[in-house]
């Protein structure tokens, strides 16, 4: 499914959209699937629906936190090992060429940063850190991982499948054995990301809106735009009369706002674009 390439007409249209420069790019989970990170709503995920962790559930329920951190402990090594794919690299090339002036991402995998796009704005935060809900201390996820494994070594032999949010499925019997690791102050630790049902910090939203406002056009890459946190930027651009391009497999919430709509694989399309524009 992911190797569904663009037609010659689609590629020419995308090149024409990109070449004038001044782009803000909004990326979603469909960009990272080729790095081995599953998504929630893409074509590959519709056969395996999954309920994401909800913010209120996490903060109010110790059982929910135990379930989250147990699964996260097992899923983290594979998630952390993911590397940028062709799509991330091409977007960084476009940035280096001056055609892309800003990148906003809904992803929490840090792969834009790993690809060299150091100024990418991570709208939902990143899983590379945990935060204490009581004292606000930030803890590197690798440091937390070492503690989780030290207290729960009996679970490390479990064979699991990676899930969209960096965790993994685990049965109830194994969950019952799991020991949560708290902050040194005794407070609850939460991944430093925006959960479903939680608001993106207002200052971050305003910064992102300003980045889109300064752009000539907005290009959406690999997002269904189902959640408001991403769709708001498409709607804002369309209301200002900025061109909106969408490159994604499957329908998106922003299709009615798009001046250019390309339904094709993200990696193969951006790779073809790189060759078309002689980026590498």
CATH number at residue 250: 3.40.50.1220
Same domain, 98 and 146: no
Q: Are residues 105 and 209 in the same domain?
A: yes
Same domain, 113 and 180: no
Q: Are residues 75 and 159 in the same domain?
A: yes
Q: Are residues 153 and 136 in the same domain?
A: yes
Residue 226 CB neighbours (<10 A): 15
Contacts with 180 (C-beta within 8 Å, 6 or more apart), sequence order: 62, 65, 66, 69
Contact call for residues 201 and 229 (beta carbons, < 8 A)? no
243, part of any domain: yes
119, part of any domain = yes
Flag whether 253 is in a domain: yes
Q: Is residue 230 located within the same domain as residue 106?
A: yes
Q: Would you state the pLDDT for residue 191?
A: 97
**242 and 106 share a domain?**
yes
Residues 135 and 267 placed together within one structural domain of the fold:
no
**The domain boundary residue, chosen from 193, 218, 243:** 193
91/120 same-domain check:
yes
My answer on whether 139 and 19 are in the same domain is no
What pLDDT, on the 0 to 100 scale, is given for residue 175?
84
Look up the domain containing 26 and give its range: 1-37+84-124+200-280
Given this model, what pLDDT does residue 39 score?
72
pLDDT in tens, the chain (280 residues): 456 899 999 999 999 999 999 999 999 999 999 999 987 555 554 454 557 889 999 999 999 999 999 989 998 999 999 999 999 999 999 999 999 999 999 999 999 999 999 789 999 999 999 999 999 999 999 999 999 999 999 888 765 565 555 556 666 777 888 999 999 999 999 999 999 999 999 999 999 999 999 999 999 999 999 999 999 999 999 999 999 999 999 999 999 999 999 999 999 999 999 999 999 7
Same domain? 10 vs 92: yes
> Do 223 and 236 belong together in one domain?
yes
Residue 42 lies in a domain: no
pLDDT confidence of residue 45: 47
pLDDT at 50: 59
Instruction: Give the active site residues.
Output: 124
Domain boundary among 193, 214, 240: 193
Q: Could you say which of 140, 163, 193 is where a domain stops? A: 193
Tokens of 142: 């690798």
Q: Is 212 domain-assigned?
A: yes
Structural domain count of the chain: 2
């Amino acid at each position: 499914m992911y190797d569904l390439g663009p037609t010659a007409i689609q590629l020419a249209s995308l090149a024409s959209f990109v070449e004038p420069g001044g782009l803000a790019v909004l990326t979603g989970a469909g960009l990272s699937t080729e790095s081995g990170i599953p998504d929630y709503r893409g074509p590959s995920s519709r056969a395996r629906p999954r309920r994401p962790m909800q913010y209120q559930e996490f903060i109010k329920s110790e059982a929910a936190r135990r379930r989250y951190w147990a699964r996260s402990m097992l899923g983290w090594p594979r998630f952390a090992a993911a590397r940028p794919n062709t799509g991330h690299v091409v977007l960084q090339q476009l940035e280096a060429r001056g055609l892309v002036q800003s990148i906003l991402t809904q992803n929490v995998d840090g792969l834009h940063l790993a690809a060299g796009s150091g100024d990418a704005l991570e709208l939902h935060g990143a899983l590379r850190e945990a935060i204490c809900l009581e004292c606000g201390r930030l803890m590197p996820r690798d440091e937390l991982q070492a503690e989780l494994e030290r207290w729960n070594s009996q679970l490390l032999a479990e064979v699991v499948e990676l899930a969209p949010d960096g965790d993994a499925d685990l049965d109830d019997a194994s969950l019952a054995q799991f020991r949560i690791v708290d902050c040194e102050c005794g407070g609850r630790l939460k991944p430093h990301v925006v959960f479903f049902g939680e608001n993106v910090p207002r200052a971050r939203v305003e910064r992102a809106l300003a980045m889109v406002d300064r752009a000539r056009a907005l290009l959406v890459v690999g997002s269904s735009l189902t959640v408001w946190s991403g769709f708001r930027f498409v709607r804002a651009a369309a209301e200002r009369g900025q061109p909106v391009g969408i490159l994604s497999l499957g329908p998106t919430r922003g299709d009615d706002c798009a001046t250019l709509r390309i339904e094709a694989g993200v990696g193969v399309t951006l790779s073809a674009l790189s060759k078309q524009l002689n980026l590498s």
